[in-house]
Amino acid sequence: MIKYADLIAAQQTMRDTIKSTTLMPSKTFSKLADTQIFMKLENLQTTGSFKVRGAFNKIFHLTEAEKKYPVVAASAGNHAQGVAFSATKLGLKSTIFMPTFTPPTKVSATRSYGADVILTGDSFDDAFAASQEYCKTHNATYIHPFNDPKIIAGQGVVGLEIFIQCPDVDTVIVPIGGGGLISGIAIAMKEMKPSIKIIGVEAEHAASALASHEKGEIVTLPSVSTIADGIAVKRPGDLTFKIIEKYVDDLVTVSDTEIAYAAYLMLQRGKLLVDPAGAAALSAAITRKSNCMGKTVVPVISGGNINMSLLQQIIDQGMYLEGLRTTLQVILPDHAGELQKILAILDKLKANIQDIVHERSITSVPVGHVMVLLTVNLQHKKQLDTIKGELGKRGLTCRVIH
């Protein structure tokens, strides 16, 4: 079992290289969660994720014999960048195996930290298998993303920092993938203040820790499905499962919709860019998933490396959910000038048109008419009722599609 002293040693190891990240209070999220929220911003960490902490601690402690050969990882995201940065910083070569579907931004970021990147296979399992074969043929050291004492100790430094920054903390909420982060934090927090509650959060369709807890033994899920790829893990680690069972007070899940909305709110209200896994803990807080939440709560915002196309979807969906965007369906006579009537109303009300689609060919549109789909950005929620009222005055009926 990893000891508290291992975390203190890891803190000293990374003191001059890895940031002590900000603990930021938020009035907005405190109101939504009905408790005092302080966010631990690991999205502002070097490489954009907490993963660099464990990677640096592990690679630093390799033997002199191991340091003569490359270090290897299989990862499509944060762990890859953490290993690449740490290896380069410590003067070692790194080779990272990534599935071929990995977003180009993550591939280029990993290469920019000095790693050789090998794209292979259609899944993470394919990349992992290739990495293991490479280790055998090149005498390289595989750096596990979570199931390793040095990795866990490195991640646990997050817990040491939280306690220094907020001694009154009574609840810490942590996202769970393989369990390295929550294991390290739990060891740190329970040692310093046993009364602190540790809540673990998983995506509802990738809840391997919860399934394992309910069965009383490690469970491997047949598949996982979530936008939060940073916590999309089929099976917790042997080490991490034992620590979770010993120290974690509650395990909860959040849906992809809840995760996406939390990420949107962090960008829109908090001015913070986070990835879906990084939004999971805050999502659990503002949706009040656990009865263990106390008065002073720290959600760990684990990372900020998000795929830009996914970010656009999150922004779009968030605007709909907040009532700042709507899509209206209007059936008009197919005559010149009819669309201009609608545009004049929107112009008068200062509603900005995002998109317009005309559809004549489907059977639900009467002959001689056109269906118009208008996506409109609104100034506030009540503006939609005003638009519908103005259309009604002109004999036009509309249906809210979204």
pLDDT in tens, 185-222: 999 999 999 999 999 999 999 999 999 999 999 999 99
pLDDT for the residue numbered 20:
97
Q: What is the pLDDT of residue 122?
A: 82
Taking all residues of the chain, what is their mean pLDDT, rounded to a whole number? 94
Burial 299-327 (b: 16+ CB within 10 A, else e): bbbbbbbbbeebbeebbbbbbeeeebbbb
The reported pLDDT for the residue numbered 369 is 87
* Nearest in space to 386 (alpha carbons), one of 348, 331, 355, 357: 348
Task: Inform me whether the pLDDT recorded for 37 exceeds 80.
Answer: yes
Burial level of 216, CB count in 10 A (0-12/13-18/19+)?
Answer: exposed
Whether residue 190 contacts residue 222, with contact meaning beta carbons closer than 8 Å, is answered with: no
pLDDT at res. 287 = 97
**159-179 tens-digit pLDDT:** 999 999 999 999 999 999 999
Per-residue model confidence as pLDDT tens digits over 369-385 = 888 999 999 998 889 99
Residue 254, pLDDT > 90, answer: yes
Length of the chain: 402
Give the residue-averaged pLDDT of 343-357.
91
Q: Classify residue 140 by its DSSP letter.
A: P
Reference 260, options 227, 295, 286, 304; nearest CA is: 227
Domains belonging to the chain, first-starting first, are 4-49+149-317 (3.40.50.1100), 51-142 (3.40.50.1100), 324-400 (3.30.70.260)
Per-residue confidence at 104, pLDDT binned at 50, 70, 90? confident
Q: Which residues are the active-site residues?
A: 51, 302
pLDDT of residue 363: 75
Q: How far apart are CA 134 and CA 140, in angstroms?
A: 7
Query: Quick one: pLDDT band at residue 364, thresholds 50, 70, 90?
Result: confident
Q: Per-residue confidence at 1, pLDDT binned at 50, 70, 90?
A: confident
The DSSP code sequence of 216-284 is: TS----S----S-GGG--SS--HHHHHHHHHH--EEEEE-HHHHHHHHHHHHHTT-----HHHHHHHHH
Residue 30, pLDDT score: 98
pLDDT digits (tens, 9 = 90+) for 267-306: 999 999 999 999 999 999 999 999 999 999 999 999 999 9
Token pair, residue 79, equals 């762990």
In one-letter notation, the amino acid at residue 339 is L
Q: What's the confidence (pLDDT) of residue 280?
A: 98
Tell me the pLDDT band of 335, cut-offs 50, 70 and 90: confident
pLDDT of residue 243: 97
Q: Which of residues 92 and 104 earns the better pLDDT score?
A: 92
